[in-house]
Amino acid sequence: MMTRVSRLAPLLAAFALGTAHADEVQVAVAANFTAPIQAIAADFEKDTGHKLVAAYGATGQFYTQIKNGAPFEVFLSADDTTAQKLESEGATVKGSRFTYAVGTLALWSAKEGYVDAKGDVLKKNQFKHLSIANPKTAPYGLAATQVLAREGLTDKVKDKLVEGQNITQAYQFVSTGNAELGFVALSQIYKDGKVTGGSAWIVPASLHDPIKQDAVILNKGKDSAAAKALVDYLKGPKAAAVIKSYGYEL
């Protein structure tokens, strides 16, 4: 008669075989994509067995860290130029770069009714502080400066700017009331077709350069099954549905 242990042996062997290929993938994630990737990570682990370990920050800062040997295997940039630059410098797996989302900029206040639907509050210039992300390291911050320039407001508001290291800090300045309003990523204040709190102007894409956000497998991830699985997963329908629910285009 087959003993209980012997009956379990094939099951344990199969389990070990399945989990032996599960791995962690270290991912550098642009701060604007924090909420979507956290939502995606749970499904990714459930569907693939791989675990996503994310760090969040400004794209420009991640570029410097990657060049200095940071252990990231996948990079989700907030623009297309940084990933392209890493690619041209031989720091990425050839052919792995693709656009995973196109971002939208928003002018937001934590106060209900403070920001009108056309963004006229910006032109009236009656606020004391305007929060933006560092335009040198954060693509959403660069887009914000482009909007100000095209609206002829650069000099008028320059003494009112409160600059965050990344888009998360720019958002925090507004959410805590340290700035009456600020330029943030729409994904930070938007879910399932609506702004989740406060008031906002969704900035027309014509007022700034497109915020194409590229993903790429870095050289440290060239032999990682988890890195390849994540990139494939981001191209799939489950991830696409999550990304769109946060106001991104694909």
Give residue 22's pLDDT.
Answer: 73
Q: Same domain, yes or no, for 54 and 126? A: no
Q: Same domain, yes or no, for 114 and 203? A: yes
Q: Same domain, yes or no, for 61 and 146? A: no
Exposed e or buried b for every residue in 71-93, given b needs 16+ CB within 10 A? ebbbbbbbbbebbbebbeeebbb
Q: Same domain, yes or no, for 218 and 152? A: no
Give residue 21's pLDDT.
Answer: 57
Residue 2 lies in a domain: no
Token pair 């702004």 is at which residue? Answer: 195
Residue 4 lies in a domain: no
Residue 84 lies in a domain: yes
Give the number of domains in the chain. Answer: 2
**Whole-angstrom distance, CA of residue 250 vs CA of residue 244:** 7
Task: Give how far Cα 211 sits from Cα of 73, 146, 187, 194, 243, Å.
Answer: 23, 12, 13, 20, 14
Q: Same domain, yes or no, for 98 and 56? A: yes
User: Which CATH number characterizes residue 174's domain?
Assistant: 3.40.190.10
Q: What is the pLDDT of residues 191-238, one digit of tens each?
A: 988 999 999 999 999 999 999 999 999 999 999 999 999 999 999 999
Start-to-end CA distance of the chain, whole Å, equals 58
**Whole-angstrom distance, CA of residue 74 vs CA of residue 97:** 10
Q: Same domain, yes or no, for 68 and 152? A: no
Residue 10 lies in a domain: no
Residue 14 lies in a domain: no
Q: What is the pLDDT of residues 22-57, one digit of tens each?
A: 799 999 999 999 999 999 999 999 999 999 999 999
Mean pLDDT, range 120-141, rounded to an integer: 96
Q: Same domain, yes or no, for 87 and 123? A: no
pTM: 0.84
Q: What is the pLDDT of residues 100-123, one digit of tens each?
A: 999 999 999 999 999 999 999 999
pLDDT band, very low/low/confident/very high, at 11 (cuts 50, 70, 90)? very low
Within 8 A by CB and 6+ apart from 217, the residues are 73, 74, 92, 93, 96, 224, 227, 228, 231
Domain interval for residue 131: 104-207
Residue 111 lies in a domain: yes
